[in-house]
Copies of this chain bind each other. A is one copy, B any other.
Amino acid sequence: MLGRTYDDQVCSIARALEVVGERWSLLIVRDALLGLRRFDEFQGSLGIARNVLTDRLNKLVEQDVFRRVRYQDRPARYEYRLTPMGEELFLPLLALMYWGDRHLAGEAGPPRVVEHAGCGGVVVERLTCSACGETVPSGQVRTRPGPALAKRFD
């Protein structure tokens, strides 16, 4: 974890990073979204030290990103499955991936393409206005304090 040093930040980004901001954590989630479930699969994919992987997986289970499921009895063996909360990291990961594609992929191009299973078209991210339904360019976005911050000044 991050030493709880983000704790005084009333901010959902800081809180998210408390859960998944530690080195390797988001790559473990990425691998799980790609179908990996077992310790040795993650270890083989990431090439990290086993004790580090154990630590990360345990913390992600504590934080409800993964659940640990027994899949064999003798000997007892466990696998790691994303919870619904963990599966919802798909969108932040995709956003990071597209950012990396645009700025860090170089001439070789994107390592991975994300398609619409329905028609094979490339999936893109859009900001949409839930009131008027329009696509919102990032220049037309503004933020204001929400309920949790507004209360501080009551």
Contact surface of A with B, Cβ cutoff 8 Å: 2, 5-6, 8-19, 21, 23, 26-27, 30, 34, 46-48, 64, 85, 87-105, 108-132, 134, 136, 138, 140-149, 151
B residues less than 8 Å from A129 (CB atoms): 116, 118-119, 121-124
Chief secondary structure at chain A's binding surface? mixed
B residues less than 8 Å from A27 (CB atoms): 6, 9, 11, 13-14, 17
User: How far is B71's CA from A34's CA once the two chains are assembled, in angstroms?
Assistant: 47
Closest to A14 in B: B27
Please name 24 pairs of A and B residues whose Cβ atoms are closer than 8 Å in the assembled complex, sorted by A: A8-B47, A11-B27, A11-B97, A12-B96, A12-B105, A13-B96, A16-B97, A17-B96, A19-B104, A88-B138, A91-B98, A108-B147, A109-B146, A110-B146, A112-B144, A112-B145, A116-B136, A118-B136, A121-B129, A123-B129, A123-B130, A125-B125, A125-B128, A126-B127
**Contact with A17, one of B26, B64, B120, B131 (Cβ below 8 angstroms):** B26
Contact B11 A30 (CB under 8 A): yes
Contact B127 A140 (CB under 8 A): no
